[in-house]
Amino acid sequence: MNNHEIDYKLYGDDMQFVEVELDPHETVIAEAGALMMMEDGIEMETIFGDGSRSSGGGLMGKLMGAGKRLLTGESLFMTTFTNVGTGKKHVSFASPYPGKIIPMDLSLYNGKIICQKDAFLAAAKGVSVGIEFQRKLGTGFFGGEGFIMQKLEGDGMSFVHAGGTIIEKKLQPGETLRVDTGCLVAMTQDVDYNIEMVKGVKTALFGGEGLFFATLRGPGTVWIQSLPFSRLASRVFAAAPQTPGGGSRDEGSITGGLFDLLGGK
């Protein structure tokens, strides 16, 4: 790998954004719609896939890379930001909802991180953004978040976003951690990941945590989020008042405005 070396700085607490510093001819890739602001002298370009050499040089290689992203529910396209000026330039990317941005130097994790489908925010050019199929059949059928996860490969800097508070846990060999499937943000490639059914009918019916949870077995490092976006959205929609016609009442109120903003109208 030969990823671009980028510097960065995080701003904010619950609604963070990351400012990336680019030297001349350095490039950062990001999800479409992640841009917050950029200085003059940065050239913006939309590309198929992630622009890494792992996608192949021909048209078919680029289409394959874009198709892999489509399987994870992401756009076919990504955006590159290149410093075409003479001095250092800055470009900033914002979190899509309240949470934290996790900077990850892939060279410290054996060149690969596996994360949930919508966690990727931005990365240095050269980082490959692909898909990770879970080997176990149970994971595919009962994972809650789907059996397809994203994988980030390379030796450069990547930025992952998750909701609420993020905790990093280092698992020792044989150590097991059970996590709600939606709360798993990312893990290193050496973590053994599986899905187990909650034992006991009462727990499954009345516990409110669903029938299945993720079992993570060390060694390795995992990142857990306290507020998955699906949980946040379901609570907001459940609390929003509804009219018989399906619209929200008190549309001039703060609650009504928030409900409309999140797509409830």
HSE of 155, CA atoms in CB hemisphere, 13 A = 3
Across 202-212, average pLDDT: 58
95, 104, 122: which is closest to 188 by C-alpha? 104
167 touches 150 (CB < 8 A): no
Structure confidence at residue 238 (pLDDT): 79
Structure confidence at residue 145 (pLDDT): 44
14: tokens are 């619950």
Residue 29 has pLDDT above 60, yes or no: yes
Per the model's pLDDT, the better-predicted residue between 228 and 69 turns out to be: 228
Residue 186 has pLDDT above 60, yes or no: yes
Looking at the fold, whether 116 and 239 belong to one and the same domain comes out as: no
Report yes or no on 124 lying in a domain: yes
Report yes or no on 54 lying in a domain: yes
CATH code, domain carrying 20: 3.60.160.10
Residue 81 has pLDDT above 90, yes or no: yes
Report yes or no on 1 lying in a domain: no
Report yes or no on 56 lying in a domain: yes
Q: Which domain holds residue 257?
A: 235-261
165, 116, 215, 155: which is closest to 5 by C-alpha? 155
Task: Name the pLDDT band for 164 (thresholds 50, 70, 90).
Answer: confident
Looking at the fold, whether 144 and 246 belong to one and the same domain comes out as: no
Per the model's pLDDT, the better-predicted residue between 221 and 64 turns out to be: 221
Looking at the fold, whether 167 and 247 belong to one and the same domain comes out as: no
Looking at the fold, whether 47 and 95 belong to one and the same domain comes out as: yes
Structure confidence at residue 135 (pLDDT): 53
Looking at the fold, whether 199 and 239 belong to one and the same domain comes out as: no
CA dihedral of 257, 259, 264, 265, whole degrees rounded to 10:
-20
101-116, pLDDT tens digit by residue?
999 999 999 999 999 8
State the Cα–Cα distance between residues 243 and 58, nearest whole angstrom: 54
State the Cα–Cα distance between residues 7 and 174, nearest whole angstrom: 36
Across 130-141, average pLDDT: 60
Residue 203 has pLDDT above 90, yes or no: no
Average pLDDT of the chain is 78
Looking at the fold, whether 81 and 116 belong to one and the same domain comes out as: yes
Looking at the fold, whether 164 and 85 belong to one and the same domain comes out as: yes
Residue 168 has pLDDT above 50, yes or no: yes
Looking at the fold, whether 142 and 220 belong to one and the same domain comes out as: yes
Report yes or no on 123 lying in a domain: yes
Structure confidence at residue 113 (pLDDT): 95
1: tokens are 């790998």
Cis peptide bond N-terminal to 219, omega within 30:
yes
Structure confidence at residue 142 (pLDDT): 46
188 touches 151 (CB < 8 A): no
Structure confidence at residue 80 (pLDDT): 93
Report yes or no on 2 lying in a domain: no
Looking at the fold, whether 249 and 143 belong to one and the same domain comes out as: no
Task: Name the pLDDT band for 160 (thresholds 50, 70, 90).
Answer: very high
DSSP bridge partners of 22: 89
Across 250-255, average pLDDT: 50
Looking at the fold, whether 250 and 215 belong to one and the same domain comes out as: no
Place of tokens 């993720």: 214
Task: Name the pLDDT band for 30 (thresholds 50, 70, 90).
Answer: very high
Strands (E), 116-226: 120-124, 128-133, 148-153, 157-163, 166-171, 176-179, 184-188, 192-197, 212-217, 220-225
Percent of the chain with pLDDT over 70: 68
Domain count, the chain: 2
Residue 96 has pLDDT above 60, yes or no: yes
Residue 25 has pLDDT above 70, yes or no: yes
Looking at the fold, whether 61 and 77 belong to one and the same domain comes out as: yes
Looking at the fold, whether 239 and 221 belong to one and the same domain comes out as: no
Task: Give CA angle at 136 (222, 76), nearest 5°.
Answer: 70
